[in-house]
Amino acid sequence: MFTFPVQATELFAERARQFRAWGVPAHVIARASERIDDVWGRGRSGWVPVWASEARHAESAKEWARAAACWGAARFPCLATSDRHDAYQRQLECFRHASACLPVTFRRYAVEVPYRGEPTSVVAHVYRRPRAVSDQLLLLCGGVDTWKIELHRIALAISLCTGLTVAAVDMPGTGESRVPLAADSDLVLAGAARRLAERTGCVRTAMLGLSFGGHWAAKLALTGRVDAAIEVGGPVGANGSAVDVLGLPGGMAGIIGNALGLDQLPHRAESNRFSQEFSLRRQGLLNSIGRCPLLAINGSNDPYIPLRDTTALGDRPEAVVWLVADAGHCAAERLPRVLPAAVGWLLAELSPRSVRRQLAARALRSALGAAVTGPRQVASAA
């Protein structure tokens, strides 16, 4: 693990919306941004000490969910320092308290899956609505800096509204994962989906992946290892190369480098190798025969992921593309409106009746109106 150049003002400018989505109140974010001037320092104006003071304040009031969210901000953007490791352990502990009062049955499972000839442990937070009769499991995964606890609100809402069993996990290279991020990390996630389905008595599996998690959702769908998938803002390398790591803003090169298990910022050769290895085009998956339904979603103005990474999936007969107008990475500005419709699409695709699936998909897409377009509409407008 290593630290890297990044300014606190840059992180707050890019991530304030993200922190609010995790459950950090806006006034707490504003207060922290005024006090912090050093991302890696341990003094009074350092990132971890300031966020830790906010988290402890929430702990003293026994506001465990808010405390967990603040500890999540403290360990951000990666576990590159010992104080961030400590913050992450506090986040896990606070979340344990918060999960005791949820309106769903919550379980923390650790399952062993095979990976490169050895077993590795995957820890999942599993949400199940009381008296739900669904036999369908939804694997939920975020990206390099949004982990399973930060996905708590989404997991809870989906479980309550749909009755699906939702299992939130960390992407390899993040959180409690025991292995670094690699091009074959799909083996870990596919194995986790299979083991968790067995553990929870589910028959069908689906995946919802956000940001880098969308890469894995697309890959599991294209290889037929889930029954349906939604990928939101995933880098799939449609043009033969994934994102240019070194060209990403907000310290992303360092965040991804830590997930990859590097001990310093990647050099140009390492960045190029990463870009090629993670391309689903180079892996031959974008030209293969379709395996299961896939919904690809992203904002039309994503500054991180090329538009082609989303629109190229629309060339496949089993895939649907929703491009959200005037939105950025993962369509975050409009995700509260788009995600419920996407989950409705998923439920329709998991339905055994094809006519019902088609009608539901059309109705959900129409309900979003002009805010969402398809790849052909974007191409013609360009």
Cα 12 to the center of its chain, rounded Å: 19
Listed residue (64, 58, 16) closest to 36, CA to CA: 16
Lowest-confidence segment of 90-94, 304-308, 348-352 by average pLDDT? 348-352
State pLDDT tens for residues 59-96.
999 999 999 999 999 999 999 999 999 999 999 999 99
What is the rounded average pLDDT of the residues 306-327? Answer: 92
Report, as an integer, the average pLDDT of 219-223: 96
Average pLDDT, the chain: 91
Contact, 158 vs 126, CB < 8 A? no
Within 10 Å of residue 10's Cβ, how many Cβ atoms? Answer: 14
Tens digit of each residue's pLDDT (9 = 90 or more) over 120-169: 999 999 999 998 778 999 999 999 999 999 999 999 999 999 999 999 99
- CATH superfamily entry for domain 105-381: Alpha/Beta hydrolase fold, catalytic domain (3.40.50.1820)
pLDDT tens string 253-274: 999 999 999 999 999 988 889 8
Rounded to an integer, the average pLDDT of 52-62 is: 98
Q: Which has more pLDDT, 227 or 364?
A: 227
Q: How far apart are CA 317 and CA 186, in angstroms?
A: 23
Which 8-state DSSP code applies to residue 289?
Answer: P
**Whole-angstrom Cα distance, residue 171 to residue 259?**
9
Q: Is the dihedral of CA 285, 286, 292, 295 positive or negative?
A: positive
- The helix, strand and coil proportions of the chain, stated in percent and rounded to the nearest 5, come to 45, 15, 35
Domain-wise residue ranges, the chain: 8-99, 105-381
Token code pair at residue 223:
């290889």
| Pairing relationship of beta strands 105-115 and 118-128 according to DSSP bridges | antiparallel
Structure confidence at residue 25 (pLDDT): 97
pLDDT (0 to 100) of residue 199: 95
* Residue 275, pLDDT score: 87
Q: For the CA atoms of the chain, what is the radius of gyration?
A: 20
Q: Indicate the angle between helix axes 186-200 and 212-222, nearest 10 degrees.
A: 70
Q: Which residues contact 118 (CB under 8 A, 6 or more apart)?
A: none
